[in-house]
Amino acid sequence: MKRKICVVVTARPSYSRIKTALLAIKNHPNLQLQLVLAASALLDRYGNATKFIEEDGFEITAKVFNVLEGENLTAAAKTTGIGILELSSVFDNIKPDIVVTIADRFETIATAIAASYMNIPLAHIQGGEVTGNIDEKVRHSITKLADYHFVASEGAYERVIRLGENPEMVFNTGCPSIDLAHHVKLQGELDFDPITKYGGVGGNPDIRNGYWVVMQHPVTTEVGSSRKHIEETLYAMMELNQPVFWFWPNVDAGADGTSTGIRSFREKNNLENFHFFKNMKPNDFLKLLNNCKGLVGNSSVGIRECAYLGVPVINIGSRQNKRERGNNVWDVTYDRNQIRNAAVQIDESARPESSNVYGGGEAGKIIAQQLSELPLIFHKTIAY
Amino acid sequence: MKRKICVVVTARPSYSRIKTALLAIKNHPNLQLQLVLAASALLDRYGNATKFIEEDGFEITAKVFNVLEGENLTAAAKTTGIGILELSSVFDNIKPDIVVTIADRFETIATAIAASYMNIPLAHIQGGEVTGNIDEKVRHSITKLADYHFVASEGAYERVIRLGENPEMVFNTGCPSIDLAHHVKLQGELDFDPITKYGGVGGNPDIRNGYWVVMQHPVTTEVGSSRKHIEETLYAMMELNQPVFWFWPNVDAGADGTSTGIRSFREKNNLENFHFFKNMKPNDFLKLLNNCKGLVGNSSVGIRECAYLGVPVINIGSRQNKRERGNNVWDVTYDRNQIRNAAVQIDESARPESSNVYGGGEAGKIIAQQLSELPLIFHKTIAY
Amino acid sequence: MKRKICVVVTARPSYSRIKTALLAIKNHPNLQLQLVLAASALLDRYGNATKFIEEDGFEITAKVFNVLEGENLTAAAKTTGIGILELSSVFDNIKPDIVVTIADRFETIATAIAASYMNIPLAHIQGGEVTGNIDEKVRHSITKLADYHFVASEGAYERVIRLGENPEMVFNTGCPSIDLAHHVKLQGELDFDPITKYGGVGGNPDIRNGYWVVMQHPVTTEVGSSRKHIEETLYAMMELNQPVFWFWPNVDAGADGTSTGIRSFREKNNLENFHFFKNMKPNDFLKLLNNCKGLVGNSSVGIRECAYLGVPVINIGSRQNKRERGNNVWDVTYDRNQIRNAAVQIDESARPESSNVYGGGEAGKIIAQQLSELPLIFHKTIAY
Amino acid sequence: MKRKICVVVTARPSYSRIKTALLAIKNHPNLQLQLVLAASALLDRYGNATKFIEEDGFEITAKVFNVLEGENLTAAAKTTGIGILELSSVFDNIKPDIVVTIADRFETIATAIAASYMNIPLAHIQGGEVTGNIDEKVRHSITKLADYHFVASEGAYERVIRLGENPEMVFNTGCPSIDLAHHVKLQGELDFDPITKYGGVGGNPDIRNGYWVVMQHPVTTEVGSSRKHIEETLYAMMELNQPVFWFWPNVDAGADGTSTGIRSFREKNNLENFHFFKNMKPNDFLKLLNNCKGLVGNSSVGIRECAYLGVPVINIGSRQNKRERGNNVWDVTYDRNQIRNAAVQIDESARPESSNVYGGGEAGKIIAQQLSELPLIFHKTIAY
């Protein structure tokens, strides 16, 4: 009988990050994939991932609606509570052999608690990283609940071991998101028109001389400043006066501050060089990145995939503070001048070298193989 | 303005363990105590702690009912989810400056998540210990969510630091439960009749030549065997044929297995030497222990308070597997012969030496003082 | 394709009441039964119905644990809230064509809300009755959510119509519980020994000269008096000094008052003539009733099945206050003397006539047939 | 001691409707107002009512976030379940003497269940009305849970009595929303510039020759058609080519269909005559209505306040199907031609007569007075 591997995806970006692992699990002769979609991954206003996932040929085993609306931290806590209630029912129904949770978004701990409290072996992807924000509490807390760890870099590997995990259960597989980047790098050119293919709203800039991509999320510990922070980036890019493809932020306490800031800025300014997207197929998004002048914002894509692709990144603020990085990153604060100056510098510099710091393009397959072979355990003790 | 310190107590034994800290917080000139009672601490069939708490002079700020009934692990997960929903409402209402969570019962992580997700500084009491069961996942997971750590032993101190916590936020205060034991040790003799004072059910044994105390909880990772395990202890103590005071177990997945085992055994056997209690005031319980021949079961009281008191303990099975211990512990497996033989040995041996391994009797005051002085932080990063 | 009929059973007595309808649905060529077990029907301490149901040959489609523990009314409200959360997930998964809810226990409104809010046609069994307690708020409230009504008596039929329901959707089918009584009446004699077959606890009375059956539930609006009320019955039956088979109460706010009252009374009195059961197969229970001297308490079984069987009933207090009744009922208040006197009178009287006031023994089949033919609607308006 | 009257407001329009009653309760010498804000009343994207309420001088006793995000009916059911969980905690904390629930939005039944299950007397405002949609299930179901009924019209009064309620507990007070309309009618002219005062988005039409107001909500039983329905209205008003003030819809299953429809239409068409608002102070909104050419959509404001004000209404579709109405209503289906033709007719007709069908302007005071005098009951039986 095949092992049932239940992967819980709670946000669109997590899906892209994990896609090659999903594919490898689905295609593995000894594994059966149970894909559960939850939280903002299901919501239109944060870029519902359902369609992309189905187009990629995956079947969705269960959908869990658990986002409690309300722009505040209490709602984030309650969303997590509801997530546990709902996910434990799902696990009861589909009886997975292993549950997989991804990274460090606040609601992923619901997956970890439901699985570990129900004595289901738990695998965690992308533990051990350092970012210096609330995500870090969540991430390391999940590490201490998880039985298997698939980490993305050497530094992460060492940290998970230092956190007291059994070294036999920790694997530096690289990040599955790099697998996609690897594929995209081989493909090269931007072979589609983003606006024609994805709609979105805003101007229709001429991108023949290049374009920028912006993706900036609110930072949980800086909720009150979300709007001010996004405005600095908006001003910087408006003043730069070059084509911009802008992506809406994830749901998070503070997302409404960011979204409202963008919406209000659009009403008041003439942004003909800006076009806004909610979502893009992961592969297309990476192609868009691979061919852009640079990525602006605080997405981890800038630190990971862009390192592998050798795409310049203007990394704003504290969100990626402590992540290992390649040579492709320009770090700046929430300041329109710093942002614009970095863009000007990048425009004048050569493209950075590619880096393998987050993996070499085979993470999905390695993870699937491990999931098929690892002993089924849900009982552990600290290793010191 | 006084700092508001919210302590969430989720079980009767946690209350006894923390009582001196509660008192020290209540009496501290710069602190205001907010005492929240939740989970099994409120339920009659697990020894409702409300009455004891009120008799001790504490006011209960809020009560949270979150135990979902059902003898299974899914109910434990859901109880935790409901706990988050409810506690986040409570914190919203009473706006604590610091939240304190105790030890490692499964539902305590609800306190930790609600507080940390709401950016309220979180203190954890009794982190860093090693037990080798599901509690350990919970305990270390809470450590990674907590901002301050009040640990009970040198080993725990070192482990919390190795888990990547900032050493400036980790304090080996000893366990507040030892404070009570310290007090009781000074008092000496058993100065009340347990059955007269606490009722309970069962026979009325003659204890002039000594008595045993039994307290055995189900083990989360061995749910299916709860009944068999308790029966071994029941047979051992019946065959020993000496007076026994037996305490009902906590609520937990598996509690019903344990409870049912006891109830059924009582129906079928003549247990005139056994008397059963649900609950006892902490102080009286420690006096009962201080004067008994030995404690039988798997309660952490055997490892901690009994070490300080120098009371012999027959520690059964895996639950206290890896805790540091004094010389007072006889470790046995779930086997009636081993249990009975240990009892016979203890009967023939001298009383063990007292040990300070879990503190020297001032933990409550030290914790309260720290809570009044520590910087209010809810933002941290791993220390390596 | 067969119509999927989802019946949600939330308590052991509801199961017995509905059993013949379940059987008729299961055996109907155009229907597929989806049996969902929830609330106290799953809990050991209220007589887990799972085993009986499976022995009767039914498959359980889903189990919903939603009982929040706590002896108070808030817990009853929250149990209902959790019920809605859980049942809506279940309905999402199993996509019933019609949902069936039974009678008027507080948690049944969760079934009604989940179904009607999800635009699933809702059938209600046993609407339109009058009892004068909180059940009545629940019952009529469900009527206003339901699309089809299968009522048990002429009075109930008229009341549901007066409540503004479309007469074409209201059917006086009689109560399915009478179907079982019909069967049992044909069988006659008590052909098993209750204690041998069902265990339980207590004395082993000699029943050759007859026995009484007691079943008394707490009354939601009289929570504070539960214990006092049950004690009156306990004293009355002890003083009567005849064999008694006593059944534990349902879970309800106040159940613990009732249960505690019984437990405590047992400890203090010598009750050799009493034997206590948690549960009995419906068929056996009816046989036990059919051959007893009389039923004592406030169960609706006394009003319904016993009317058909012609068994005398001492109906205590307000719980069945306003239900239509046959000639078999002696109404008394919570008073040990009234109860004992009624028992003495019954002992001296002839057995009452059988009555068809709650149906003639074919309700299950009629309900199944209607469920297979009714138009699928979930949209209605008041009929005046 | 003053009676504590807890009013639970779950949506911005409910607040306007009830405002004069809130004021009368607040100012009544024997009453203390406890105002609880819940559900969409708290959410920015549905017109957060918090600011308006505080500006009106009310203190908010508790806020309850219970909207589970997800464009589907399951989320509506779950929102109700969470509402019960949260509201029962609130009632536990603030211990109201009477709880007041308003009208018939799906989530209002959570208020009704929490209060009635906790034995708190429940008052219902605006029961007894007929609309022919899911609201009607909710509304009449709440009537059967409520102890006091404050209805808004003669027809509603008769219906609540026929539903079996005790006539001594049913009062035709008129609708409190008419109290505001009464006040506004006395004030007359539009004395503010809507766009200057409220911002919003869209064109800046010249309204000196009059303007229309549009407010169209999704219909729960027609979820799949929300977008198509709103588009007919959008086309009709665009073709009419007169100034339009358009209000965003409430949160509801289907709201996203309506909102998306509007957003998408705006992107594709040049709507210089349209201006969009999220929200307006109730008083200003009524002034805006009182001076408009007509109201278009399916809001109950058209049936109630506009009857009293004598403002023409183009009532679209089934939502207000069966409500009593004055002479001010033109009923049309979801058809752009019918809508436009009605507008042309209205433009050419005289203004309709005022009507007292929903009250005479004193409802708030009458309700407050009743709440101060009524016996505190929570126990009832059907009146036939």
CB < 8 Å to C90, chain A: 89
Instruction: Tell whether B298 is covered by a domain.
Output: yes
| pLDDT for position A364 | 97
Residues 6+ positions from D111 with CB-CB distance below 8 Å: D8, D10, D38, D83, D87, D99, D101
Q: Domain check: are C72 and C189 in the same one?
A: no
pLDDT at position D134 over 60? yes
Query: What ipTM score was computed for the predicted complex, to two decimals?
Result: 0.84
Contact in structure between B142 and B127 (CB atoms under 8 Å): yes
Does residue A378 sit within a domain?
A: no
Q: Which residue has the tokens 């020994």?
A: C193
DSSP C238-259: HHHTS-EEEEPPPSSTTHHHHH
Two tokens, residue D221: 């039983």
- Residue C204 tokens, joined: 């082993």
Q: Which residue has 């409120």 as its token pair?
A: B42
Of chain A, the end-to-end C-alpha distance in Å amounts to 36
Compute the mean pLDDT over every residue in chain C, rounded to the nearest whole number.
93
Residue B376, chain A, CB below 8 Å: the answer is no
Contact call for residues A214 and A247 (beta carbons, < 8 A): yes
Residues of B in contact with C66 (CB under 8 A): 68
Residues 127-156 of B with CB under 8 A from D: none
pLDDT > 60? residue A22:
yes
What does the alpha-carbon distance between residue C160 and residue C139 come to, in Å, rounded to a whole number? 11
Helices (H), ranges, chain B: 12-27, 50-55, 73-94, 108-117, 134-145, 154-162, 176-187, 194-198, 226-240, 255-268, 282-290, 300-303, 305-309, 336-348, 363-373
Give pLDDT, residue C34: 98
Q: Which chains touch B (3 or more CB pairs under 8 A)?
A: A, C, D
Task: Look at chain B and report how many structural domains it folds into.
Answer: 2
Residue C57, C-beta contacts closer than 8 angstroms, at least 6 positions apart:
C26
- Say if residue D254's pLDDT is above 70: no
Same domain (yes/no): D164, D218: no
Q: C88 with D78: CB under 8 angstroms?
A: yes
- The DSSP bridge pattern shows strands C294-297 and C313-316 to be parallel
Spell C227-242 as b/e; 16+ CB within 10 A means b: bebbbbbbbbbbebee
Segment C11-15 shows an average pLDDT of 89
What is the SS3 assignment for A202? Answer: strand
The continuous run of DSSP H or E covering C90 comes out as: helix C73-94
Residue-level pLDDT at C254: 58
Hey, which chains touch C, using 3+ CB pairs under 8 Å? A, B, D
**B85 to chain D nearest CA, in Å?**
8
Amino acid A96: pLDDT: 98
The burial of B95, by beta-carbon neighbours within 10 Å (0-12 exposed, 13-18 middle, 19 or more buried), is given as exposed
The one-letter amino acid code at C123 reads A
Has residue C126 got a pLDDT over 90? yes
Q: Using CB atoms and an 8 Å cut-off, which of residues 17-76 of chain D contact chain B?
A: 62-63
CB of B256 less than 8 A from some CB of C: yes
Read off the pLDDT band of D82 (50, 70, 90).
Answer: very high
Q: Please, what is the Cα angle at C9 between C6 and C14, to 5 degrees?
A: 130
Name the one residue in this structure whose structure tokens are 């059961």.
C277
Q: Which two tokens stand for residue C288?
A: 């036990």
What are the pLDDT digits (tens) for A191-209?
999 999 999 999 999 999 9
Report which of D350, D360, D28, D320 is spatially closest to residue D174, judged by C-alpha positions: D360
Q: Give dist(CA A101, CA A142) in Å, integer.
A: 9
Structure tokens at D305: 């306040």
Strand-pair partners of C301: none
CA B67 to chain centre: 18
Distance CA C7, CA C118 (A): 16
In whole angstroms, how large is the CA radius of gyration of chain A? 20
Cβ distance of B379 and A164 shorter than 8 Å:
no
**Nearest chain C Cα distance for residue D103, angstroms:** 15
Q: Do C169 and C187 share a structural domain?
A: no
Interface mutation target, options B124, B137, B154, chain A, most CBs of A under 10 Å: B137
What 3 state SS string does chain D have?
CCEEEEEEECCHHHHHHHHHHHHHHHHCCCEEEEEEEEHHHHCHHHCCCHHHHHHCCCCEEEEECCCECCCCHHHHHHHHHHHHHHHHHHHHHHCCCEEEEECCCCCHHHHHHHHHHCCCCEEEECCCCCCCCHHHHHHHHHHHHCCEEEECCHHHHHHHHHCCCCHHHEEECCCHHHHHHHHHHHHCCCCCCHHHHHCCEECCCCCCCCCEEEECCCCHHHHHHHHHHHHHHHHHHHHHCCCEEEECCCCCCCHHHHHHHHHHHHHHCCCCCEEEECCCCHHHHHHHHHCCCEEEECCHHHHCHHHHHCCCEEEECCCCCCCCCCCCEEEECCCHHHHHHHHHHHHHCCCCCCCCCCCCCCHHHHHHHHHHHCCCCCCCCCCC
Residue numbers in D near C142 (CB within 8 A): 141
> Could you tell me if A161 and A226 lie in one domain?
no
Strands B170-172 and B244-247: unpaired
Q: How many CB pairs under 8 A join A and B?
A: 144
Match 């533990």 to its residue by tokens. Answer: A127
The first and second tokens of residue A42, run together, are 């299901």
Please determine, for residue D279, whether its predicted confidence score (pLDDT) is greater than 90: no
Q: Does C82 touch chain B (CB under 8 A)?
A: yes
Question: How many Cβ atoms from other residues are within 10 Å of residue C63's Cβ?
Answer: 18
Buried b (16+ CB within 10 A) or exposed e, B204-219: ebebeeebbbbbbbbb
Per-chain mean pLDDT for chain A? 93
Residue A256, C-beta contacts closer than 8 angstroms, at least 6 positions apart: A71, A226, D44, D45
The Cα angle at residue C76 between residues C74 and C80, in degrees rounded to 5: 115
Cα–Cα distance measured from residue B76 to residue B64, given in angstroms and rounded to the nearest whole number:
15
Chain B partners of D62 at a C-beta cutoff of 8 Å?
Answer: 93
pLDDT for C251 beyond 80: no
Do D214 and D131 lie in one domain? The reply is: no
Contacts of D65 in chain B (CB under 8 A): none
Phi-psi region of C226 (alpha: psi -120 to 50; beta: other; left: phi over 0): alpha
User: CB-CB: which of D63, D85, D90 is closest to B85?
Assistant: D85
Encoded amino acid at C238, one letter? M
Instruction: Check residue A149 and give left, alpha or beta (phi > 0: left; psi -120 to 50: alpha).
Output: beta
**For residue D262, what pLDDT band results from cuts at 50, 70 and 90?**
very high
- Measured CA to CA, the distance from residue D361 to residue D176 in angstroms comes to 7
Nearest CB to A77; choose among B84, B143, B384: B84
Query: Token digits for C98?
Result: 């019609």
What is residue A253's predicted lDDT score, i.e. its pLDDT? 54
Q: Does A376 lie at the interface with B, CB-CB under 8 angstroms?
A: no
Within a domain: C384:
no
Q: Which residues pair with B313 in a beta bridge?
A: B295, B329
Residue A172 is classified by DSSP as E
Residues D26 and D100 in one domain: yes
Residues B132 and B189 grouped into a single domain: no
Instruction: Read off the pLDDT of residues A80-118 as tens digits, 9 standing for 90 and up.
Output: 999 999 999 999 989 999 999 999 999 999 999 999 999
For residue A354, is it within any domain?
Answer: no
Q: Are residues A235 and A146 in the same domain?
A: no
Check B82 against A80: CB less than 8 A apart. Answer: no
Same domain assignment for residues D344 and D196? yes
pLDDT of residue A254: 57
Q: Which residues, in sequence order, are CB contacts of C301 under 8 Å at separation 6+?
A: C13, C177, C215, C289, C295
The mean pLDDT values, 10 residues at a time, for chain B of 384 residues are 97 89 98 96 85 92 92 92 96 96 95 97 96 86 98 96 97 94 90 94 94 92 88 96 93 73 92 92 92 95 94 94 89 97 96 93 97 95 88
Residue C90 inside a domain? The answer is yes
- Tell me the CB-side half-sphere exposure of residue B368, using CA atoms within 13 A: 22
Please indicate, yes or no, if residue B356 is contained in any of the structural domains.
Answer: no
Buried b (16+ CB within 10 A) or exposed e, A229-265: bbbbbbbbbbebebbbbbbbbbbbbbbbbbbbbbebb
Q: Which class for B346: exposed (0-12), middle (13-18), buried (19 or more C-beta within 10 A)?
A: buried
Q: Give the separation between CA D169 and CA B233, rounded to whole angstroms.
A: 62
D304-360 residue pLDDT tens? 999 999 999 999 998 887 788 999 999 999 999 999 999 999 999 999 999 999 999
Q: Structure tokens of D380?
A: 């009832």
Residue type for A24, please? A
Task: Looking at the structure, tell me whether residues A289 and A196 fall in a common domain.
Answer: yes
Q: Does A222 touch chain B (CB under 8 A)?
A: no
Q: Report pLDDT for B383.
A: 87
Residue B9, pLDDT score: 97
- Using the Cα atoms of residue D36, residue D41, residue D43 and residue D47 in order, give the sign of their dihedral: negative
Residue B355 within a domain: no
Angle (CA) D89-D91-D95 rounded to 5° is 130
Which amino acid, one-letter code, is at D221?
A: T
- Residue of chain A whose Cα is closest to the Cα of B164: A163
Residues B217 and B269 in one domain: yes
CA distance B26 to B24: 5
Of the listed ranges A351-365, C35-49, C135-149, the least confidently predicted one is: C35-49
Q: Picking from B13-22, C32-41, C329-338, which range would have the lowest pLDDT averaged per residue?
A: B13-22
Which of the four pLDDT bands, split at 50, 70 and 90, describes residue D300? confident
D204 and D109 share one domain: no
Residue B7 lies in a domain: yes
Domain ranges, residue B368: 3-173+362-373
- Which CATH number do you get for residue C128? 3.40.50.2000
Residues in C 308-337 with any Cβ partner in A closer than 8 A: none
Residue of A73, A81, A141 lying closest to B118 (CB–CB): A73
Kindly provide the b/e burial profile for residues D149-175, where b requires at least 16 CB atoms within 10 angstroms of the residue's own CB.
bbbbbebbbebbbbbbbbeebbbbbbb
Question: By three-state DSSP, how is residue C107 classified?
Answer: coil
CA distances from C174 to C149, C322, C361, C366, D175 (A): 11, 18, 8, 9, 42
Place of tokens 């394709």: C1
Chain D residues with beta carbon closer than 8 angstroms to that of A82: 68, 78, 82
